[in-house]
């Protein structure tokens, strides 16, 4: 074999080695991508199933209350096998805690109203806040009914978490009352905040029951009554 023939053979072997290496690397990357894609798909499907179970719990509570909850009933409503429930939750108590947190996250933005910068009239500020909160609460009937029915039950995970949410709403209403009347006494501000929270929940229940159709008119009427009371109440100095 001449030197030239040997060099051509060596080049051919090197070229084959390079091509084989590239093909192997591409195949590994493809397999890795497929594994990543499959893993992502499994995670997405798992989250969808968890959400279906949470929605099934909410539906069951709406229909029969949380005292009759069973894993079998929840799984049936979600359209999955009963053992699937325990893939996502250790117990029904943990599932209820997640339902409570999920509902709180759904409602929190709407129950934390920000007054528009264009509003400078006291009645408009309060009316907008009450209307925003009430409309947000009744947007999903199932969520609203379960929340309003269980928000004061401190024996359940639902009531314990939602009492915190109610407390946040109460504090936001107090801040708006102080915005309307900066010199209002703290005790009066707290009282009017409590009245506003009661109005929001009361209007939501009345609307869900079909007793109040026009939320705009109802919130305007209630808000103006509260504003009149806020503006005429004694300031800090007199209250002291």
Q: pLDDT, tens digit, for every residue of 194-217? A: 999 999 999 999 999 999 999 999
Domains (ranges, CATH) in the chain? 3-89 (1.10.10.60), 106-239 (1.10.357.10)
With a cut of 60, say whether residue 184 has pLDDT above it.
Answer: yes
With a cut of 90, say whether residue 39 has pLDDT above it.
Answer: no
| 3-class DSSP assignment, residue 133 | helix
Q: Over the chain, what is the mean pLDDT?
A: 82
With a cut of 90, say whether residue 20 has pLDDT above it.
Answer: no
pLDDT digits (tens, 9 = 90+) for 84-100: 999 999 999 999 999 99
pLDDT for 65: 83
pLDDT for 89: 92
Average pLDDT estimate for 103-116: 81
Highest mean pLDDT among 46-50, 165-169, 235-239: 165-169
pLDDT for 199: 95
Hey, what are 82's tokens?
């009963």
Position 6 confidence tier, pLDDT thresholds 50, 70, 90:
very low
Cα(45)–Cα(32) distance, integer angstroms:
20
Q: Which residues touch 132 (CB under 8 Å, ≥6 apart)?
A: 110, 113
H-run or E-run covering 36: helix 3-64
pLDDT for 127: 87
pLDDT for 109: 87
DSSP 8-state symbol, 235: B
HSE at residue 13, side-chain half, CA atoms within 13 A, is 6
With a cut of 80, say whether residue 72 has pLDDT above it.
Answer: yes
pLDDT digits (tens, 9 = 90+) for 147-158: 999 998 888 888
Position 42 confidence tier, pLDDT thresholds 50, 70, 90:
confident
pLDDT for 179: 86
Taking alpha carbons only, the member of 235, 153, 233, 148 closest to residue 197 is 148
């Amino acid at each position: 074999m001449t030197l030239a023939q040997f060099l051509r053979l060596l080049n051919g072997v090197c070229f084959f080695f390079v091509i084989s290496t590239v093909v192997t690397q591409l195949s590994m990357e493809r397999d890795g991508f497929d594994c990543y894609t499959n893993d992502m798909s499994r995670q997405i499907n798992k989250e969808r199933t968890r959400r279906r179970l949470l929605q099934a719990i909410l539906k069951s509570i709406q229909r029969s209350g949380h005292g009759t909850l069973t894993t079998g009933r929840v799984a049936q409503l979600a359209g999955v096998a009963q053992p699937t429930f325990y893939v996502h939750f250790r117990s029904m108590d943990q599932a209820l805690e997640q339902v409570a947190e999920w509902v709180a996250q759904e409602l929190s933005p709407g129950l934390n109203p920000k007054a528009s910068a264009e509003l400078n009239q006291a009645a408009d500020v309060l009316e907008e806040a009450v209307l925003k909160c009430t409309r947000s609460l009744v947007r999903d009937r199932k969520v609203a009914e379960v929340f309003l029915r269980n928000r004061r039950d401190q024996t359940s995970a639902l009531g314990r978490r939602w009492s915190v949410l109610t407390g946040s709403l109460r504090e936001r209403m107090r801040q708006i009352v102080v915005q309307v009347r900066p010199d209002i006494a703290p005790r009066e501000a707290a009282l009017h905040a409590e009245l506003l929270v009661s109005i929001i929940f009361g209007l939501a229940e009345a609307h869900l029951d079909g007793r109040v159709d026009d939320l705009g008119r109802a919130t305007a009427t209630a808000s103006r009554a509260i504003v009149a009371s806020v503006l005429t109440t004694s300031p800090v100095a007199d209250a002291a």
